[in-house]
Amino acid sequence: MSETIPVAVLGAAGRMGRTVVDAVEASADLELVAALEHGDDVDAVGATGAQVAIDFTVPAVAEANVRSLVAQGVHAVVGTTGWTAESLARVEADLVGRPGVGVLVAPNFALGAVLAMAFAARAARWFESVEVVELHHPDKADAPSGTARHTAQAIAAARREAGLGPVPDATTTALDGARGADVEGVRVHAVRLRGLVAHEEILLGNAGEQLTIRHDSFDRVSFMPGVLHAVRQIGSHPGLTVGLEHYLDLG
Ligand SMILES: NC(=O)C1=CN([C@@H]2O[C@H](COP(=O)(O)OP(=O)(O)OC[C@H]3O[C@@H](n4cnc5c(N)ncnc54)[C@H](O)[C@@H]3O)[C@@H](O)[C@H]2O)C=CC1
Ligand SMILES: O=C(O)C1=N[C@H](C(=O)O)C[C@H](O)C1
């Protein structure tokens, strides 16, 4: 009989956590050994035998959770958004003392969303204008979404590399927020609407043409293949990785 991977889920009663628990329990090669919620002790995860912990909690606690997991030698697959460059740097510093431990922070585990981000980054150098629109359920805490930030950062990097200047925008007067958030020079707009789950559009414009790249998650099961892939692969990815694209052979 082949061995199973012992898995802990943090945020187990949340919208994502419940879906992850179901997905782990339905996977013959994974074993759910711990399901933690607000108030439970993350420092006790290692003692459950978990090799991998999956974190879908809230931005305010994700860094502390991950740093505790790293200290216990437990790999962390993290979907929680709201990370800053500083919080990622602290995790990376902790990992120096824990060679072999992997942390994946992925703003989106839906394979289509990862591809949409990759396609947008690839297209970015060929367009004068670009804006990102993300659309989510109204119970979401953070705006703009982690996915939209990651998308805009990748587009901004591609534009810099191609030597493109700022996107054209003649706005001189605007109501606060009318032009969205500025993420490294890329405007990002956040819609919150009952009925939605998670959606993103990247609009790329040139004189006389527009390319629209759109991804829709209609159900949280869309994130599960990416989460399970990461749990199975993280043992081969020591150190800090940001973005599921690094676990996929996108060519
Ligand atoms: N990377 C991805 O593919 C996705 C990421 N997300 C992100 O995942 C996070 C969670 O989203 P939802 O499940 O919709 O939120 P939610 O609010 O439904 O669930 C969060 C859960 O975490 C629990 N929690 C809070 N503090 C905790 C702690 N210290 N230890 C353990 N549990 C704790 C809460 O009680 C709650 O049950 C958000 O940051 C969201 O943006 C959501 C969907 C996909
Ligand atoms: O809160 C959500 O729902 C989602 N959060 C992630 C994000 O902020 O990008 C991923 C997905 O968009 C769903």
Q: Which helix (H) or strand (E) holds 201?
A: strand 198-206
**Which residue of 16, 55, 81 sits with most ligand 2 atoms within 8 Å of its CB, as the best mutation to test the pocket?**
81
The complex's ipTM?
0.99
Please, are residues 227 and 20 in contact by the beta-carbon 8 Å criterion? yes
The catalytically annotated residue of 38, 75, 140, 215 is 140
* pTM of the predicted protein model: 0.97
From 75, 136, 189, 199, active-site residue: 136
pLDDT in tens, the chain (251 residues): 459 999 999 999 999 999 999 999 999 999 999 999 999 999 999 999 999 999 999 999 999 999 999 999 999 999 999 999 999 999 999 999 999 999 999 999 999 999 999 999 999 999 999 999 999 999 999 999 999 999 999 999 999 999 999 999 999 999 999 999 999 999 999 999 999 999 999 999 999 999 999 999 999 999 999 999 999 999 999 999 999 999 998 87
Is the separation of the CB atoms in 7 and 53 below 8 Å? yes
